[in-house]
Every structure is written in structure tokens, then in C-alpha cells.
Structure 1
Amino acid sequence: MLLNCDLGESHGNWVMGMDAQVMPWIDQANIACGFHAGDPLTMRNTLALAAEHGVSVGAHPAYPDLVGFGRRSMALSEAEIIADLQFQVAALDGMAQSAGLQLAYVKPHGALYNDMMARAEVRSAILKAIASYYRPLPLMLQATAAAAEHRAEAELLGVGVLFEAFADRCYEDDGSLRSRRLPGAVHSREKMLEQVSLLLHEGVVITYSGMRLPLAADSLCVHGDNQEGVSAIRDIRALVDQR
């Protein structure tokens, strides 16, 4: 299983995350494209860091919500979602090529990601944006009980998919993430490592209700915006490498 992390989310003098400490431990870097975070210099520096460590790079587009860090849903039309997504992907794609890298996938950010998973019309717009891009790129989305349905939707438009699971989040029985507004939404370090081990060896997670839920994930999302998170990534990397 691969490890992916959202990176390149600093903007100007505002620093977000610990990218240099995270990059050596991951396989895939989801790089912000400027709409929720990131700026041209941050994008360039993050790509260089990925190249240094041999990390695959993906575009991490969002709603145009810099003030809200892309965490607020927006009532955009299908045409707007397609244009906004292609604009962001193209920017990172061009900068990646200039750095000697090949953009490998697209993973939406924040509210756009959540809306993609919850609303068929948003997911359809994102798939259409990727399908009509000038070259094929797979879409990274959450592994849920509806994974087969989502794969079929993508295949109809000729789009490949990468399914991801989350190391530190608790799951509901349908494979959705438990809301952060509810108790038990985020695992302790011990429970997080238990969940990673179960995913690696049995392909399941234990939901909040105690059910064993099968999840077929290609990649595992980890977070490194603090020193404790970076330390946890190292532990997760060790589990993956011992598999």
C-alpha cells in the first residue's frame, strides 16, 4: 500500500505543514494548486522536494476558497467545476514538467472532496473535467462500500481510479468517515496503528459500531502538519515496509 499526504499548503509568509520532514516517508504528494492554499513558489519548492525524494506527485485542486482553506462547500455549476479543476491541474502539470516530473493523479481537497463523495452531480463534474483533460489522469477518491459503483462511473468516461483509506479517522458502517463533530472521529495513535495494520493484513477496518468493514484501498492518507503527525508517519511507514 502507498502512503499519500496533502502538501504544499503554505501561502506567502503563512506556513502550513512540515513538508520537508514528511516527504522522505511517503510515496505520493498531493500538492495544493493555489485555490485553497499554495502559491507558485510553494508549488515549485514542493515539486523540487518531491523530485529529491522520488515521490510521485498529484494535483490537489479545491473550490476557489483561499480564506476558508477550501473547507466550505460552494454552489458552483458543472461548467465552473470543470473549468476550475482543469485550471488548477494544468498549472501544477506544467510546473511539474518544468521540474522534470510527470503529474500522476488528481485528488480533490476539502469540501470539494467531501462533496464529490456525497453528491453524484459534483462527482460527475469532476470526472468530466478529468476525462476531457488533454491526457489521462486517474482520480483518487475515498474507498467506501460504493467503490464498485464509483469505479463504474469513472470507467464510463474512461477515467482510472485510485481508492484511498485514512489512517487516523474512524469509519461508519457504510465506509464514510465519522464526522469530526461526533465523539471518536479521530483515532488515538494506538488505534491509528491498529487500523493501519488491519488494512495492510486483512483489508478491513473496525467501524465505530464495531463492524468489520472490507476496504480495498490503493493508498493510505496520512497527515503531517505537526511533529506528532510526522512521528506517526514514520511508524506507519515501518508497518508498510514490514508487510
Structure 2
Amino acid sequence: MTRALRIDINCDMGEGFGAWAMGNDIALLDHVSSANIACGFHAGDPQTMRRVVAAALQRGVRVGAHPGLPDLQGFGRRVMQVSPAEVHAMVVYQVGALWAFAKAAGGTLSHVKAHGALYNMAAKDRALADAIARAVHEVDPQLVLFGLAGSQMIRAAEALDLPVAAEVFADRSYQDDGSLSPRGQPGALIEDADAAAAQVLQMVQHGTVRAASGKTVALRADTLCIHGDQLGALAFAQRIRGALDAVGVCVAAPEFPSTNRTQSTGGNTHA
């Protein structure tokens, strides 16, 4: 029997820049309820941000900022030595940029999700997690912070009474402590769509995931990430969405009493 009748599907988007296109953002928007849009530090540029924000709003998909480390060459996936003060300023800067594009398009910003190395660092480092949560809270305390389920990001948001959505992943394997397997580790990436769908159903229906070691790990699943830059992302998203629809799980953006946004109810929702 399904324990969770609702889950958000989010996708990292807008990660091309200049002449370099990445992912099939527009097509993916038909299968997700939240879009995390790169803000120019690890990827993205003003034209891309404007285009993807407008496309998301037109489809009733929630718009979120996807701030990362200032690392275009490494796509924001390389660890950098940054202080909490630097992280706070980076996040305010990037969230503010995406907020402006959402407002200019007649919509509002819904959530914030850190990218890549910044996300993984803050998942374990409470000082960095606090810096991100504080930055989001200062920009708008109604924004929902997406963070790895069971991580320091969740605790940092809760400490500020900031709305928070615990995130799980379809295409990544897990460690015994609930952290993601490092990308360089064999088996870290799940490339088979059927295997990913099975993992998603376990997380949504039972609140657990099978770690790489075989251990069953408990976790909270509010929002599910699909990476827009992965190979075959569109087919992957279609398979995951189909698996959820087949068991009657409603796909919709997270809702909190203080964060109801008038421009959207979390588009592409199936009851």
C-alpha cells in the first residue's frame, strides 16, 4: 500500500550557456513539477535563465533558483575552499538574479536548491548549511529550501523555520548513512531507467532505499530529482513519471501553509 500519495519531481535545468546547449529543458518541463534553474555561476547565462523561466511558468511548473560554486569549467562539481560568509553572499547573489527573472516574467520564485559540490558540502557541513539557509531566509522566508534527505541542510532550514523539502534521487545510489555515493565510485550513477524507477517506488511507497551495500536505509522523500544533463534524461523522466502514475502517486510541487503561490499549483499534476 502506498504510504506517500504525493511527491514533487524536480529537474536541474538551464545549465547551458553561450553557444553551448545542455539538456532538453523544454521537453522535460512536461514531466516535472519544479524546475531548478542555474543562475550563472556553475552554468547558465541571462538569456538561458530568461527562456527557461518563461517556459516553466507557461506550463505551471514551479520556478526555483539553482545556485552553485563559481566554477564554469568544472560545472560546479569540484570542491572549493569557501567560507560560510562567501557561501552566504554567493547564494543571495544568485537567488536574487533568478528572482528578478521570475518577477519580470510575471511569476514568483518558489524554491532554492544548491548545486553540485556546494550541495554535497552543505549536506555534511552545518556551518555551510546554515549559511545557505540564512541567505534564502533573508531573501524571502517563504521560499522552500530543497536539501538532501536526512542532511544538515534539512536541520539548518528547520532551525530557521524555513520551509524545507527533503530530496531524494532517482539516478544516484546511496551509502549506509543516507548520503549519495560519490560520483567517481563504481555504481554511483544509476543509468538503467527500470532500476531507477524501482528505487523511486521504494522511496515513495516505503520511505526507504537500498544502499550500495545492500542495507535498507530509512529516508524522507518530499521531492525527487531528475538531472536534466544526464544521457537520455527525457526518456528517464518519462519512465519515472509513468511508474508513479501507475501506482496512483500524485506528482505536484511541495505545499506549505505559508508558501502558496498564486501563479501555479505545481503544474502537470496527476491525481
TM class, shorter-chain normalised?
over 0.9
Q: Does 2:80 match 1:74?
A: yes
Q: Unpaired runs of 5+ in structure 2? A: 1-6, 249-271
> Any idea what the Cα deviations from partners look like across 1:52-104, whole Å, max 9, x if unmatched?
21100110001111222111222222222111110110111011011111101
Query: Aligned with 1:132: secondary structure?
Result: helix
Question: What amino acid is the match of 1:201?
Answer: Q
Question: What amino acid is the match of 1:25?
Answer: H
Question: What amino acid is the match of 1:183?
Answer: P
Question: What amino acid is the match of 2:172?
Answer: R
Q: Does 2:238 match 1:234?
A: yes
Number of the residue aligned with 2:262: none
Number of the residue aligned with 1:130: 136
Question: What amino acid is the match of 1:231?
Answer: A
Question: What amino acid is the match of 1:204?
Answer: T
Q: Does 2:176 match 1:173?
A: yes
Higher relative contact order (CA 8 A, sep 6+): 2
Instruction: Tell me if the contact between 2:15 and 2:44 (Cα under 8 Å) persists in the aligned partners.
Output: yes
160, 163, 173: which one pairs with 1:160?
163
> Any idea what the Cα deviations from partners look like across 1:180-235, whole Å, max 9, x if unmatched?
22222122222111101212221211111212212111111012335622111111
Once residues 156 and 180 of structure 1 are traced to their aligned partners in structure 2, the CA distance between those partners, rounded to angstroms, is 30
Q: Which has the higher helix share?
A: 1
Instruction: Tell me if the contact between 2:110 and 2:144 (Cα under 8 Å) persists in the aligned partners.
Output: yes
10, 31, 38: which one pairs with 1:32?
38
Instruction: Tell me if the contact between 2:63 and 2:108 (Cα under 8 Å) persists in the aligned partners.
Output: yes
Once residues 83 and 244 of structure 2 are traced to their aligned partners in structure 1, the CA distance between those partners, rounded to angstroms, is 41
- Cα distance change of structure 1 residues 87 and 224 upon mapping to structure 2, 3 Å threshold: closer
- For 1:63-142, list aligned pairs within 5 A: 63-142=69-148
Q: Does 2:216 match 1:221?
A: no
> Any idea what the Cα deviations from partners look like across 1:135-157, whole Å, max 9, x if unmatched?
4312100113x5xx654432322
Query: Aligned with 2:146: secondary structure?
Result: strand
Instruction: Tell me if the contact between 1:128 and 1:157 (Cα under 8 Å) persists in the aligned partners.
Output: yes
Work out the number of aligned pairs and report it. 240
Q: Percent identity?
A: 44
Q: Does 2:48 match 1:42?
A: yes
Once residues 134 and 141 of structure 1 are traced to their aligned partners in structure 2, the CA distance between those partners, rounded to angstroms, is 17
Once residues 172 and 227 of structure 1 are traced to their aligned partners in structure 2, the CA distance between those partners, rounded to angstroms, is 23
Query: Aligned with 2:232: secondary structure?
Result: helix
Pairwise CA distance, 1:121: 1.6
Number of the residue aligned with 1:3: 9
Instruction: Tell me if the contact between 1:32 and 1:59 (Cα under 8 Å) persists in the aligned partners.
Output: yes
Q: Unpaired runs of 5+ in structure 1? A: none
Once residues 171 and 123 of structure 1 are traced to their aligned partners in structure 2, the CA distance between those partners, rounded to angstroms, is 20
> Any idea what the Cα deviations from partners look like across 1:16-65, whole Å, max 9, x if unmatched?
11111211110000000011111111000001110121100110001111
Question: What amino acid is the match of 1:77?
Answer: S
Once residues 153 and 22 of structure 2 are traced to their aligned partners in structure 1, the CA distance between those partners, rounded to angstroms, is 32
CA RMSD of aligned residues (A): 1.6
> Any idea what the Cα deviations from partners look like across 1:87-144, whole Å, max 9, x if unmatched?
1101110110111111011100111101111212211211221222244312100113
Q: Does 2:27 match 1:21?
A: yes
Number of the residue aligned with 1:191: 195
Once residues 88 and 125 of structure 2 are traced to their aligned partners in structure 1, the CA distance between those partners, rounded to angstroms, is 15
Once residues 53 and 6 of structure 1 are traced to their aligned partners in structure 2, the CA distance between those partners, rounded to angstroms, is 16
